[in-house]
Amino acid sequence: MEYEDNDLPKNRLVPFFSRYKTNRHSTKGPKVTIAIGFVCPLRDKKLAFGALPSIWMASDSQATYDETKRENPNKIRVIDFANGQILVAQADSVEVGDRMIEILRPKAKATKMVDSQTAVKTVRAALLEVRNELLECNKGITIDLEKFFWTEHRLNLLIGYFFNGQPHLYKMNIYRGLYTLVDSFEAIGGGQSLGYFLLKEYAQADPYFQGEFPVAVDVVNKVIENVDGCERPIWVANVIPLPPESQTNKKKNTHSQIECEAIIIPQRKTEMLSRNLRVAYVRNATRHKEELLRAIWQVAGRRRTPR
């Protein structure tokens, strides 16, 4: 299920971004901090009878407005297309991202995914429309585009979906307006570096990301513990392809092909897993310390067992 966006005033007397003109921009806008995405392919199709590949995304819930912090549960969105659903995760500027989602929803509902590029191109069209709105509000003003879109109005996106049973995970930012295919995993936002490192560690141990739900929660948990500004609760979502026998439009009771279905994991399940993982960290801390000290003593040429 998806959380509804806060409806914006329908009768605007001024453009949405008019208050963000560069010559009046004295403070930074609200920022969001970490979002991750990774692809879970099947390890063995013969052994995984009935199993499906999936794409998972996770994020924290923190949005920073200058010196104040607010919870923002809408960092991962389920976007409905005419024949499927996709996931879009955003990081950095809250308001620019929310405006992009507002533009994207009606575009997507009227669009049918006819090839592997339809969905990501629709997201890009909405992103470029927001980009043009920002430039129009600052028309006639000398702008450093790199600073304008990379610092003042920064926005990064992750887009995940399936087409013809194949996973597609893309990253995109408002500065360049280009989308890049992600092979396995990616992280965006202020905790990007640590998030990417943790995903890389998991991928080296298991490139198939078995136990995908705990992996998603664990990575964001560790980023929250180590990156200033990241806060709980954690939100997790996934998208899966629908097999041919399930590709029926249940809402309209038709047999049109539905490519994929997305869902946001209930918050109570995510919070319970997050809490259990944090307890496990504490229990394992002593064991990890002993292993580390034992390795240090071995390097030092001593055989003493650390207490």
Q: Tell me, what CATH number does 249's domain have? A: 3.60.20.10
Asked whether residue 92 is assigned to any structural domain, the reply reads yes
Asked whether residue 11 is assigned to any structural domain, the reply reads no
Half-sphere CA count of 205, side-chain side, radius 13 A: 10
For the ranges 37-41, 45-49, 119-123, 226-230, the lowest mean pLDDT is seen at 45-49
Query: In this structure, what token pair is assigned to residue 109?
Result: 């509902």
Residue with tokens 């207490």: 307
Higher-pLDDT residue of 253, 209: 209
Task: Give 4-63 pLDDT, tens digit per residue.
Answer: 444 434 333 334 444 444 443 434 544 558 999 999 987 655 444 457 899 999 999 876
Kindly tell me if the per-residue pLDDT of 303 is higher than 60: no
262 CB-near residues (< 8 Å, 6+ apart):
78, 79, 85, 86, 87, 161, 237, 238, 239
Total domains, the chain: 2
**pLDDT at position 19, please?**
43
297 and 192 within one domain: no
- Average the pLDDT over 194-205 and give the result: 95
Higher-pLDDT residue of 297, 265: 265
Kindly tell me if the per-residue pLDDT of 92 is higher than 60: yes
What's the rounded Cα separation, in Å, for the pair 72 and 98? 11
Kindly tell me if the per-residue pLDDT of 182 is higher than 80: yes
Residue 292 structural domain: 267-307
Asked whether residue 231 is assigned to any structural domain, the reply reads yes
Residue pair 111/122 in contact by the 8 Å Cβ criterion = yes
3-class SS shares of the chain: helix, strand, coil, % to 5: 35, 25, 40
What's the rounded Cα separation, in Å, for the pair 254 and 247? 10
Task: Give 231-251 pLDDT, tens digit per residue.
Answer: 889 999 999 998 766 655 555
Asked whether residue 201 is assigned to any structural domain, the reply reads yes
- Residue in 246, 233, 273, 81 with CA at minimum distance from that of residue 168: 81
Asked whether residue 2 is assigned to any structural domain, the reply reads no
- Average the pLDDT over 189-196 and give the result: 93
Task: Give 267-294 pLDDT, tens digit per residue.
Answer: 999 999 999 998 888 777 777 777 777 7
pLDDT-based confidence at residue 256 (cuts at 50, 70, 90) = low
- Average the pLDDT over 106-121 and give the result: 96
193 and 183 within one domain: yes
58 and 44 within one domain: yes
Higher-pLDDT residue of 31, 190: 190
What's the rounded Cα separation, in Å, for the pair 81 and 183? 23
What's the rounded Cα separation, in Å, for the pair 194 and 244? 39
Kindly tell me if the per-residue pLDDT of 101 is higher than 90: yes
Average model confidence (pLDDT) for the chain?
A: 81
Residue pair 237/57 in contact by the 8 Å Cβ criterion = yes
What's the rounded Cα separation, in Å, for the pair 32 and 229? 8
Kindly tell me if the per-residue pLDDT of 307 is higher than 60: no
Residue with tokens 């609760």: 233
Residues forming beta bridges with residue 68, ordered by sequence position: 65
Task: Give 159-169 pLDDT, tens digit per residue.
Answer: 999 999 999 99
168 and 131 within one domain: yes
What's the rounded Cα separation, in Å, for the pair 31 and 66? 9
What's the rounded Cα separation, in Å, for the pair 75 and 57? 10
223 and 140 within one domain: yes
286 and 233 within one domain: no
